[in-house]
Amino acid sequence: MTYLYLKYLHVIAAVFLFGFGMGSYLYLIAAQRTRNPVVIASVAKMVVRFDTWITTPAGVLQLATGLGMLHLTGLSIAQPWLRDALIVFVAVGLLWLPVLVLQKRMQSLAEHAAERGLALPSNWNRLYRPWLWMGVAGFAGMFVIVLLMVTKQGLF
């Protein structure tokens, strides 16, 4: 029964990672398209909060439950699908910290502009572009991880 509880939590964590992660990502993209610092600052504040307090813990829970299931089943981490999933998971995780840092900086820039009634500063796009593309790479990696989990086939 412990395995089923871990599996349940593992799936719920995946739902939170995708749901909150993708929601935050798309909302900040939509806010950015308004070019309105007031809108961007408000949305960025929520995105930073949700990604810090919900999405990040879901990623930790995802890893912990996955490792717990491995321990209970005795599966080898050397199996291609598990090995590849963990490699991609680590790669996506390594993108996550810079994304959080960029989001916080973008929030600060937007708040500063909104408080003073100014347009977004010129360095906004230097933060936004890498944030956008790291998100694309991160979500692509998450889709690959789900594919690996479902098919139980390695990438190579």
Whole-angstrom distance, CA of residue 113 vs CA of residue 119: 6
pTM of the predicted structure, to 2 decimals? 0.91
Coil vs helix vs strand at 1: coil
Cβ proximity of 145 and 116 under 8 Å: no
pLDDT in tens, the chain (156 residues): 899 999 999 999 999 999 999 999 999 999 999 999 999 999 999 999 999 999 999 999 999 999 999 999 999 999 999 999 999 999 999 999 899 999 999 999 999 999 999 999 999 999 999 999 999 999 999 999 999 999 999 998
Domain segments of the chain as ranges: 2-151
- Six-digit token string for 143: 């889709």
Q: What is the DSSP string of 50-63?
A: HIIIIIHHHHHHHH
Q: Are the C-beta atoms of residues 149 and 85 closer than 8 Å to each other?
A: yes
